[in-house]
Structure 1
Amino acid sequence: MATTSIQDLFETIRKAFPESLPQDSWYIIVASALLATDGGEHFAALYKYALDQLGPGSSSEARKNVSRRLREVIIKTWTLIGLPKVFPAYYSLASAEAPGDAAADFERSERRANLHPDQVTARSQDWLKRELAEDGEAVMKSLSANPDLAWTIKFIQYGYFFADTSVLDTIENEFCILAALMGSGAKMAMFAHMKSLRRLGASKSEAEAFQDVVVKVAAFQGTDNSSWHRFDEVEEFFE
């Protein structure tokens, strides 16, 4: 693990983050990358640092929004890396949240639970169409021999979680997904979602800046990234 402090890591990443991207999205990438590299215990520090950026006199709603966004990373990312890896992040975050600032209500959980199956299917299909585009047919065909897995991905993983952009916007949603895949070293899925990030509107330089954040987090965590795909490898699809 790197000798720099976690606060120095956050500071370096935030200051280097492109102005063309949503300015609060840097900590979404960091959060997802930390989860994937067994760094969930740093969520309290990340939350406190993000609150510091709000400045003195910030409102409870602004602080609650940071809590809500970090909790959204947790609830999305567990579908990629598993529940055991996200529990340390949840407990770390909860330890740092003031009672009035924690987005600990059940409103969004109830909304997900009350979705009609047709709504779940429709939003999953819409998101997958945008995310995978021309690759969608091949991806779905590759899952045809395992209908249980295909159903879980389309209905549960995407329908209930990834296709929900009520908290994280479209590009932040893909940041969350891809950072977890990179941090986990999931090369096949990583390559597909690197194309997705470009497809959803990130320029080559923005995509590379995104990956630089994940690489910095991985280096801090002592995770090797030498085998990861780089965005140069997908650029031929966007020329």
Structure 2
Amino acid sequence: MASAKPPAELLELYTAIQSLFPTETLGEEKWFFVVISALTGAGKPSLAADLYLFLVGLPQYATSEARKALMRRLREALVKMVSIVGVCRPLEAIMCIDAVTQAEDAETSCSREDWQCDAANHERGTSWLKKLYSENLEPIDEMFSRQQDFGWISREITYGLYLSDHRILDGVETELVVLSGIMAQDLPKMVGWHLRACRRIGMSMEDCEAVQNCIELCLDFAVIALGPTPRVKDIEHEV
């Protein structure tokens, strides 16, 4: 399949991310979740199309079925990003990807067409929330007891609908998306929470630091200036 070549500066970014990303421990075909999530969250959603065109030009995506599977994974990352940055930037990103997708590679499934805001959704969302936050959830729940709309949104929507659904992206891939989207918004408290979450689901300190460095490369590319940001060593005592 022929594909347009991304600008040289983007190719340099992809190369740098791939060289830094801890592929040996976190696995293949995960580095691009950092790129699409950080750049979309940083206000550069149109660059999702360049990333897609770069990826579909790789040997592992030589078949239409492989490209459709890739689309499902990229789309799921952007769907999860809705819960982190709102709908507009992820929607812009998927529209840009759709505009450069060949007709033969159209992937028309809907991952959540049968979703129900029911007891099973609540349990799934709460279970993942507790895994990530553990004992640190108690003071947040205390605040939610006063701000109940946000407690409901957190369990039923943010975690129930979006982040605890691991049918397409697993837990680690989900946290790569979440951490990238949060860092793009320069939210230090939540960066610390999700570095801690990454450790709690099995990522090593070294992997967390490498991923954070990858996200920072993307944000530098997007000309996003971050304030003081926690590192994994700062939250390790809480893990």
Q: Aligned runs of 1:186-225 on 2, under 5 Å?
A: 186-225=187-226
1:96 aligns with 2:100: yes
- Tell me, yes or no, if the aligned pair for 2:72 and 2:168 is still in contact at 8 Å: yes
Q: Which moved more, 1:165-174 or 1:182-191?
A: 182-191
CA distance in 1, matches of 2:32, 2:199: 20
Residue 132 of structure 2 corresponds to which residue in structure 1?
131
How far, CA to CA, are the matches of 2:208 and 2:59 in structure 1?
Answer: 26
2:114 counterpart of 1:111: yes
Q: Is the 8 A contact 1:68 1:102 kept in 2?
A: no
Report sequence identity in percent: 26
Shift of 1:13: 0.9
Letter in 2 for 1:216: L
Structure 1 counterpart SS, 2:113 = helix
* Separation of aligned partners in 1, 2:44 and 2:228: 20
Are the equivalent residues in 2 in contact too, given 1:33–1:214 (CA < 8 A)?
yes
Q: Is the 8 A contact 1:64 1:103 kept in 2?
A: yes
Report the Cα offset of residue 129 of structure 1: 1.6
**Counterparts of 1:231 and 1:174 in 2: how far apart (Å)?**
14
- Cross-structure match for 1:161: 162
- Answering whether residue 125 of structure 2 is matched by residue 120 of structure 1, we say no
Match of 2:171 in 1: 170
Q: Secondary structure at the match of 1:40?
A: coil
User: Which residue is 2:63 aligned to?
Assistant: 59
What is the aligned counterpart of 2:21 among 17, 21, 26?
A: 17
Q: In structure 2, what is the Cα distance between the partners aligned to 1:25 and 1:55?
A: 14
Partner of 1:48: 53
Residue 74 (structure 1) aligned to one of 73, 78, 84: 78
> Aligned pair 1:33/2:38, yes or no?
yes
Q: What code does the residue aligned with 1:38 have?
A: G
Mapped to 1, the partners of 2:177 and 2:124 lie a distance apart of 18
| Conserved 8 A contact 2:46-2:93 | yes
Q: What RMSD over aligned residues (CA atoms) do the two structures have, in Å?
A: 1.7
Letter paired with 2:236: E
Normalised TM-score (structure 1)? 0.91
Check 1:134–1:54 CA distance in 2 against 1; reply closer, same or farther (3 A cut).
farther
* SS of structure 2 residue aligned to 1:23: coil
Task: State the Cα distance separating 1:226 from its structure 2 match.
Answer: 4.0
Distance in 2, Cα, partners of 1:235 & 1:29: 22
| Residue identity opposite 2:137 in structure 1 | G
Q: What residue identity is the alignment partner of 2:51?
A: L
CA-to-partner distance for each residue in 1:7-46, whole Å, 9 max, x for gaps? 2111221133222112211001111101110111101111
Q: Are 1:182 and 2:186 counterparts?
A: no
d(CA) in 1 for partners of 2:227, 2:148: 34
Q: How far apart are the structure 1 equivalents of 2:77 and 2:64? A: 20
Q: What does residue 6 of structure 1 align with?
A: 10
1:83 aligns with 2:87: yes
How many matched pairs? Answer: 232
The answer to whether the 8 A contact 2:188-2:230 is kept is yes
Structure 1, gaps ≥5 residues long:
none
* Secondary structure of 1:61 counterpart: helix
Measure the CA separation in 2 of the matches of 1:140 and 1:34: 31
- Alpha-carbon separation, structure 1, partners of 2:104 and 2:132: 36
- Is the CA contact (8 Å cut-off) linking 1:7 and 1:45 kept in structure 2? no
User: Which amino acid in structure 1 is aligned with residue 27 of structure 2?
Assistant: P
Gaps of 5+ in 2: 1-6
